[in-house]
Structure 1
Amino acid sequence: MRNALISAFMLSSGVVLASSQALADEGQWQPYQMPSIADKLSEKGIDIPAKQLADLTQYPMNAVVGLGYCTASFVSPQGLVVTNHHCAYRAIQYNSKKEHNYIADGFLATSKIDEPTAGPNERLYITEAVTNVSEQVTRDLSQDPLVRYEEIQSNRKSLIKSCESDDNYRCSVRSFHSGLEYYLIKQLIIRDVRLVYAPPESAAAFGGDIDNYEYPRHSADFTFLRAYVGKDGKPAVFSQDNVPYQPKSHLKINIDGVKAGDGVFVAGYPGSTSRYRLTSELKFASDWLYPTFASRYQLRIDTIAMMGAADKGVKIKYAGTLAGMANRMKKYNGLLDGFKATDITGIKQAREDDFKQWLATDKTYQSYQTQLDNLENLLVKKRSNSQTRYYFENAQSSSLLGAANKLYRLSREKTKPDAEREEGYQERDMKMFKARLKRIDSSFDVSVDKALWLQDLEAYNAQDNRVAALDAMLIDNKQSVSLSEKLDGLYSLTSMTAQDKRLDWMDAKSEDFETSADPFIRLAVALFDTNMAQETDKKTLAGELSQARPDYMKAVIAYYKANDWPVYPDANGTLRITYGMVDGYQSRDALYKQPFTRLEGITAKHTGIEPFNAPTKLLKAIEEQRYGNHKVETVYQDPASWLCRLFSCLDKPKSFGSVPVNFLSSVDTTGGNSGSPVFNGKGELVGLNFDSTYEAITKDWFFNPTITRAVHVDFRYILWMMDEVDHADNLIQELDLVRN
C-alpha cells in the first residue's frame, strides 16, 4: 500500500536530502508569506498575484470564512455561504425532527423566509487582520515556569481586550512555531447563521465510513448556509427582522472547472499538524496515544450505534457526534497503518540525526544542543503526566458533569477581576458559555450519556492511578450497590438535565454550589481541587516548554533554510494558503488512481443498502443522462500541451463524457480545511476540499509529495445537483458563474 513515502528522501551517508522539486507543493502558508513563494505559484500556473493573496481585505481572501472548526466561503452578495455537508451537520441536525428528518431527506429553502436558524452556537468568523505581536507577548518574561506561563497569558489577554473594543469582533493571540512567534488575529463574528440547502446524507456521505479517507469517491459533501445581520448591517443574534449580510466580496464560480495538471490553491483554517515535533513524540503517539484513543472511540461508537438503532430520536441527536468520532477513529487507525507501512519514525529519526550533526558543526547554533536535551527531558515528563491523568480526565466525561465542572469554576473565577480570570470565563466568553449550556440538549440523552460515562468509569477503575476524591464519591462501594446503580441515582436526582436550571447556575455563588444537594454539582465541587492542582502542573510544564520549544524551533528553522526546504508554521487553526495541482497518484503497485470520478461511478457503487444507497432522484437523473450543460468531454490537457509532455499524460484516457463528481489535487491540507474553497489559477472557485486519501493521513507528521492527495467536491457536480436533481433555481441565480 503506502510504500512510496521513504522515496521523498534519499538516506545516504547519514544525510537526509530532499529536492526542492519534490517538496514544491508542501506548505500551509500564512497569507503574508505568499509573495515569498510567488515564483512557485507561477510555476504551477497560479496567475493571481501573490501580493493580492497576502491582502486579507482583497478578493478572494476576504470571502473565505471560518466556522470555528471548518472553513466556508461567501458565494453571493446576499451572504450565501458554501461549506461541506459534514461541517454544517450540526445545523442540519438542529433542524431535524422525527416528523422531518433533514439529515435523511435533505433540505432546500426556496425563499429566504424559509431559511431556519442553524442553531444558537453557529458562527461565521471573517478574519480581517493578522498582526505580529511576538515582542509584546514575550518581552521581559520571568524565568520561573509558572510565573512565565501566567505572564504570557496576561500579555495575550491584554492584547485581546484592546482588540475587542467592538463587541462584534472576536480576537485571539495564537502561537506560531511553538511560541517563537505570536500573532493577534481579529475576526468579525456573524451570529445569525441559517440553513439554506443540504443534500440528503445518502448523497452527501455516499459510501459513509467505508469510503472515508478512500478514493475513488463520489460524495456530494456540500451545504449552503446564509449569514444574517441586523438592519443596521452589524452582527446580531437571530431575529426574524435581520437581513442578509453583504460581504465585501464573494467568490466567482468557474463552471468549466479544472483539468488534470491545472494549478490550484486552497485557503482555509487547518487545525493541527506535528511536522516539527521530535521523533520521541511520534513514537509516543504511535505506541500509546493513537491506539488508546482509537480503542476508546470504537467502544463509544459501538454503544451509540446500538442505542441509536433502537431509538430514532437518539440516532438523530447523536448523528453528528457519531460521525465525528468515526472520522477521528479512522484517522487514528490510518496514522497507525501509515507509520507501519512506511517507517515514518525511521524517516523522522534520520532527519533528526542529520539535524544534530548540523547542530554540532554550525557555529551559531552549537550551544542549542543543551536546549534540545532539556526539551527531550520535559517531553518525557509530559508523556508520563498524560498517561497518568488520562483515565481520570475521561472519568469526568458525562455531559452533565462537564457542565457542572465549568459552572462551579465560573463561580470561582467571577470573584476575580475580569483581566485575571482564566480564558473561557471572562465576560467576553459569557455569550458562548451560555450557548454551550443550551446546546447540550441538542445532542444529549440520559441513557446514552450514562452508558458512555459508565464505560469511562469502569476503565478508570481498572487501572492504578487513583484520585481519592473520585473514589470517595463514586468508586468505593461499602454497600452492595453497583456503579451502574449509583449512576442511576445521580441522573434521577439531578436538575442539570433541565436547560433553565443549568442556566440559573451561571449566576450562582460558590457557596451555593458547596451547599447544593444536586449530585453532579456535589461531584464537581469534590473534584475541583484535584482538577485545579493538575491544571497548575500543566501550566508549569507549559511554562518550561515555552522556553525550550522556541529555542529548538530557532535551530530547526535555520537547519531547514540551510537545506532550502520550505519553512512555514505547523497548522494551528489559523488562516492558511496551500497550493498544488490536479493530479492522480500511484497508490500501490500497478494501481494508478485517476484524478476525477464520474456520475456513473455512483450507480456502479449503489447497492440500495446504507451507506451505498444513493437517493432515487439522483440515480434517475444519471440513468436518464440528464447532464444539462454540466457534461465534460475530457478532464485531461491537450496531448500536445507542455503539461502533457511534462507529466506524460499521452497514455491517459481522453474521453470522459460525464459530470465530474470528486477530484484529487496535491495541495497540503488537514482537518479544519474541510469546506475550504479550491481555486483555479485565476482565483475562481472550482471545488470544495472535504477529505484526504488514506495514504496521505500521515501528512500531519510528514509530508510526502508522491502520495499526498486531498479530495475535493467538483463544483460542476454541485451545480449539477442544484440544477438537475434538486432544482435549486433560486440559489443558482444568486451565484456569480463564469467561464474560462
Structure 2
Amino acid sequence: MMKKTILLSLLTTFTIAGHADEGMWMLTDLKQQNAAVMYDMGLDISIDDVYSPDNISLKDAVVHFGGGCTGEVISAEGLVLTNHHCGYGYIQQHSSVEHDYLTDGFWAMTREQELPCEGLTITFIDKILDVTNYVKEQLKKDEDPEGLNYLSPSYLSKVAARFAKKEKIKTDEFTVLELKPFYGANKYYLFVKTVYKDIRMVGAPPSSIGKFGADTDNWMWPRHCGDFSMFRIYADKNGKPANYSATNVPLKVKKHIAINLKGVKEGDFTFVMGFPGRNWRYMISDEVEERMQTTNFMRDTIRGVRLRVLGEEMAKDAKTRIQYAAKYASSANYWKNAIGMNEGLVKLKVLDKKKEQQEHLLEYGRETGNNSYKEAFDAIRSIVAKRRNAVYHQQAIYEALMLGTEFYKVPDTDALRNAIEANDKKAIKEETENLKEAYKKFYNKDYNPEVDRKVSKQLIALYAKLIPAEQRISIFKQINENFGGNTDAFVDACFNKSIFRSQAALDAFLQNPDIKTLREDLMVQYSKSVKDGYNATSNAMKAETDEYNLAHKTWVAGMLELKAKNGTPVYPDANSTLRLTYGKIGSYEPADGMEYLYYTTLKGVMEKEDPDNPEFVVPAKLKELYEKKDFGPYAMPDGRMPICFATGTDNTGGNSGSPVFNSKGELIGTGFDRNYEGLTGDIAYNPQLQRAACVDIRYTLFIIDKFAGAGHLIDEMTIIK
C-alpha cells in the first residue's frame, strides 16, 4: 500500500495524458522520469531489473547487432535473436546457387555447422555515464571555445579518451568508448562498450517465411512474416572477445532473457529496448517541408527507378538474384518509408501541428522576456531557405550517383599516380599491390558489371533530368563535349574502356602503369567528379550548417525548458544509442469503418498465398503443419497459430530486432517494423495510429521447432509456459 501511495503521488508530476507511450527514453533517466508511469501502466518488476548502473539487469542482454540493428541474448551460451532482415546480408554472404540459404533457409544442427560471418560485430553496453559537466569544462578550455567542437565526433573522441584516462577506464580493440551529444548538444553521455567480432550464423528461415509479403507488406499492418534469424557470439577460451579462430568457444553470457509462451492480449503493457537510429522530433515546420521536398522526394523518385531495373535483372537468373538480394532489400526499405512518410505528413496535417508547437515556445519566450528562442527560430527558417537548392542537389548526387551507380566506388588511384610522378619504384610496386587488393573488394562476388551498367544508364540520365545543366557535376562537361550529351554512350564507354572494367584489364595496365591512362580513365574521372560534387554541395552550405547547429541547440534548449515548466518528461532524438520505449498492445482504426486487430495468425498466410508471386509463396511444409494444426505448445488458447502482434511503443529504424518484453521483463516478441500510418513518427509521434509490428515469439519458436526441426536450439533457452 505504501508503494502504491508513493507512486500515485508521483503521477501528478508526470501527466499520463501527455502520451506516456511516446518517447525513446535514456535508461539512466528511467527512475527519475518514467518509473511512476511505467508502474501505473503495468510494469511488474523493479526498474533496477530493467536497468541498473551497478548490477546485472535486462540491459545486459540487449546488444547492438552489426551497428544498424538490435539483438537480444536468449541463451546462456551466447545465442542471439534478431530480425531476418538484419541478418539478411550475412545470410546472403553465405548463399550461392548451390547453397541458396535465402530461398531454403539455414539451420546449424551442431555447433560445428555454425557459419562465421566476416565483418559482423555484436556490441554490449557496459556503462552509460552522464559526462555533461566534464565535456563542458573541456569545451571551455578549447582553443576555439566559440567553435563547433561541441558536435565534432573527432573532438569528442579525444575528450572521451581524456575522461577514460582520468577515470582509469582501460580500452583496447574490443573495449571502446563512444561519446555523443544529446538534446542538441545540451547534454553528453559516454558509452563504454564491449565488441565481439567472432559471430556465427546459427539459423534463418527461408525468405518465404522471413520476408513473407516482401515489398508489398513492408511498413504495413497486418503482417504475416517470421522476420527473425539467429546468431551466436564466440569468445576465446577465457571468455574474452577475440577475432575469429576455430578454437574460440560460445560466450558464457552474464545475462540472457527468459521467454514467455503465454501470449499477449489487448491492453497488455510492453516495453522495448534497442538502438533506434535517427528521428527529428524537434524540427520546425520549415524543416519538415525541406525533408519532404528533398530527402523523401529523391528517395521516392530515384530508388523507384533503381529498384525496377534491379528487379528485372534479378528475375532473370538465380545468381543475380542472390548477388543483389541484400542491395535490393536495403534500397527498397526506405524507398517505401519515404513515400509513406510524405503521405502521412500531409494526411495528418503535421505541418500545422509543428506550427502550433513552435508558436507555444515563441509565446513562452515572449512571456519570459527571452528573445533567444525567436532569434533561433528566425535563424533556422532563414538557413533552411538558403540551403534548399544545395540540399536538393546533394540528395540527388547521393541517391542517384553514390548509392545507385556502383562503379562510383572504384578504387582511388591518386596514391599510384603520385608514386609514378615521383618515379618512386618502391612506392609504385607497393601502390600497385594496394590497388589490386582494393579492386578485389570492389569487384567482389556480389558485383555484376552488366547490372551496374544498366542501372547506371537509368540513374545518370535521371540525375540530368532532376538537376539543371549549369549545376550538374563536372563530368557532364565531358559527357556533353565527347558524347554529345548522351549519358548512355558515356556509361558504355566507362564499362568498355576503363582499366577497372575487368580483372584482366587492370592486370594489363598494372604491368606498366602510366599517368596518362589514369588521368583519362572515365571511371576514375566519374568517381572523382561525384565525390567533388558531393563535397561542393556540403561546402556550399557549410556556413548555414554551422549556424544551424548553434540555432538548433538554442531551440532544443527552449523546448526542454518549456516541457520542464509543464512537468513533461523529455527524451532526446534517436542517435543509435541504447533506449527504452513502452506502450500497450492495441488494435487501431486507420480510417473510418476500418479496424486492424492487434494480432495475426497463420490463417492469414494461407489467405495471402500466391504461388505465382514470389513475395507470397508459402513453403509446402508450412502448409502441411497448418492443415494438420500441428502447432505444438506454441498455439493460442483457441488453437490458432499466432504470427505477429502490434504494440504502441515508439520505435524507429535501428529498433529492428529489438526485444519486446512483457510486464515481467520476459521476451514475448521481436520488433521488426512500423505500420504505414505511423511513418510520420520519425518527425511527429501519433499515439492513435503509430504501432510497432512484432514477431510473436511463439511463431519464432514454432518455426525453429516444428518447421526446421531444430529443437536443440529450443533446449538451450529458458522458456516459461
TM-score, L = length of structure 2:
0.86
Matched letter for residue 121 of structure 1: G
Partners of 2:159 and 2:504 in 1: how far apart?
A: 35
The match for 1:217 among 214, 217, 223 is 223
Asked if the contact 1:94/1:442 (under 8 Å) is kept, the reply is no
Q: Tell me the CA shift for residue 342 of structure 1.
A: 1.7
Residues 1:486 and 2:487 are matched in the alignment = no
Q: Deviations over 1:639-671 (max 9, x none)?
A: xxxxxxxxxxxxxxxxx4322211111111011
Alpha-carbon contact 2:121-2:196 (below 8 Å) kept: yes
Q: CA deviation at 1:51?
A: 3.3
Rounded to whole Å, the distance in 1 between the matches of 2:505 and 2:385 is: 43
Q: 1:562 aligns with which of 555, 562, 565?
A: 565
1:139 aligns with 2:140: yes
Cα deviation, 1:37-96, whole Å, max 9, x if unaligned, reads 100110121122223433366221111111211110111121111001011000111111
Equivalent-residue separation in structure 2 for 1:435 and 1:269 (angstroms): 32
Distance in 1 separating the partners of 2:554 and 2:212: 47
CA deviation after TM superposition for structure 1 residue 113, in Å: 0.5
| 1:125 corresponding residue in structure 2 | 123
1:155 maps to which residue? 155
* Deviates most, 480-489 or 94-103: 480-489
The match for 1:546 is: 549
| Equivalent position SS for 1:88 | helix
Match of 1:720 among 687, 699, 702: 702
Q: CA deviation at 1:538?
A: 5.0
Map 1:10-409 to 2 at 5 A. Answer: 20-21=16-17, 23-36=19-32, 37-55=34-52, 58-67=56-65, 68-118=67-117, 120-134=118-132, 135-136=134-135, 138-140=139-141, 148-149=148-149, 152-161=152-161, 165-363=171-369, 365-393=370-398, 394-396=400-402, 397-404=404-411
Cα offset, 1:496, TM superposition: 4.5
How much has 1:489 moved relative to structure 2? 3.2
- Residue 678 of structure 2 is matched in structure 1 by 696
**For the structure 1 residues 479 and 624, does the alpha-carbon distance in structure 2 shift closer, same or farther, using more than 3 Å as the test?**
closer
Equivalent residues of 2:602, 2:640 under 8 A apart: yes
Gaps of 5+ in 2: 1-13, 165-169, 419-436
In the alignment, structure 1 residue 581 sits paired with structure 2 residue 584? yes
Deviates more, 1:599-608 or 1:58-67: 599-608
Aligned-pair identity in percent equals 28
Change (3 A) 1:133 1:488: farther
Does the aligned pair in 2 maintain the 1:514–1:522 contact within 8 Å?
no
Given the superposition, is the C-alpha separation of residues 544 and 132 from structure 1 closer, same or farther in structure 2, using an over 3 Å criterion?
farther
Q: 1:133 to 1:476 in 2, by over 3 A?
A: farther
- Structure 1 unpaired stretches of 5+: 1-17, 413-433, 506-510, 634-655
- Measured in 2, the distance between the counterparts of 1:502 and 1:735 equals 52
Q: Which amino acid aligns with 2:96?
A: K
CA distance in structure 2 between the partners assigned to 1:410 and 1:167 by the alignment: 30
Give me the whole-angstrom Cα distance separating, in 1, the residues matched to 2:335 and 2:300: 5
Q: Give the Cα–Cα distance (whole angstroms) in 1 for the partners of residues 140 and 523 of structure 2.
A: 43
Aligned residues of 2:225 and 2:695 also touching (Cα < 8 A): yes
Query: Higher mean Cα deviation, 285-294 or 204-213?
Result: 285-294
Distance in 1, matches of 2:616 and 2:720, equals 33
Aligned counterpart for 1:711 among listed residues 685, 693, 699:
693
SS in 2 for 1:270: coil
**What is the Cα deviation at residue 282 of structure 1?**
0.9
Letter paired with 1:114:
Q
Q: CA deviation at 1:387?
A: 1.8
CA distance 1:102–1:513, change in 2 (3 Å)? farther
**Distance across 2 between alignment mates of 1:55 and 1:732:** 29
Larger helix proportion, structure 1 or 2?
Answer: 2
Matching residue of 1:423? none
Distance 2:308 2:276 in 1: 29
Contact 2:407 2:527 in 1 (8 A): no
Q: Specify whether residues 410 and 695 from structure 1 end up closer, same or farther in structure 2 by C-alpha distance, changes over 3 A only.
A: farther
Q: 1:528 to 1:512 in 2, by over 3 A?
A: farther
Structure 2 counterpart of 1:649 = none
Superposed displacement of residue 519, structure 1: 4.2
Residues 147-203 of structure 1 deviation map (CA, whole Å, 9 limit, x = unaligned): 535984442131355558311133333221222223222322211211111111111
Deviating more after overlay: 369-378 vs 310-319:
369-378
Deviates more, 1:96-105 or 1:232-241: 232-241
- Give the stretch that moved more between structures: 620-629 or 476-485: 476-485
AA aligned opposite 1:490 = C
Q: Take 1:203 and 1:471, find their aligned partners in 2: how far apart are those partners?
A: 45
Cα deviation 1:305-330 (Å, max 9, x = unaligned)? 01111232111111112122222111
Counterparts of 2:691 and 2:416 in 1: how far apart (Å)? 44
Residues 1:612 and 2:616 are matched in the alignment: yes
- TM-score, with structure 1 as normaliser: 0.84
Q: Relative to structure 1, is the Cα distance of residues 333 and 726 closer, same or farther in structure 2, using a 3 angstrom cutoff? A: same
**Contact 1:213/1:694 (8 A) holds in 2:** yes
3-state SS in 1 of match to 2:315: helix
Query: What is the CA distance between 1:694 and its match in structure 2?
Result: 1.3
Instruction: Check if 1:469 corresponds to 2:471.
Output: no
Partner SS, residue 588 of structure 1? coil
Question: What amino acid is the match of 2:576?
Answer: G
Provide the aligned C-alpha RMSD in A. 3.2
How far, CA to CA, are the matches of 1:667 and 1:521 in structure 2? 47
Secondary structure class of the residue paired with 1:234: coil
Q: Secondary structure at the match of 1:89?
A: helix
The range that moved more, 575-584 or 133-142, is: 133-142
Shift in Å, 1:280: 0.4
Alpha carbons of structure 1 residues 480 and 604: separation in structure 2 relative to 1, 3 Å: closer
Inter-partner Cα distance in structure 2 for 1:253 and 1:583? 21
The alignment of Structure 1 onto Structure 2 pairs a total of residues equal to 670
Note if 1:438 corresponds to 2:441: yes
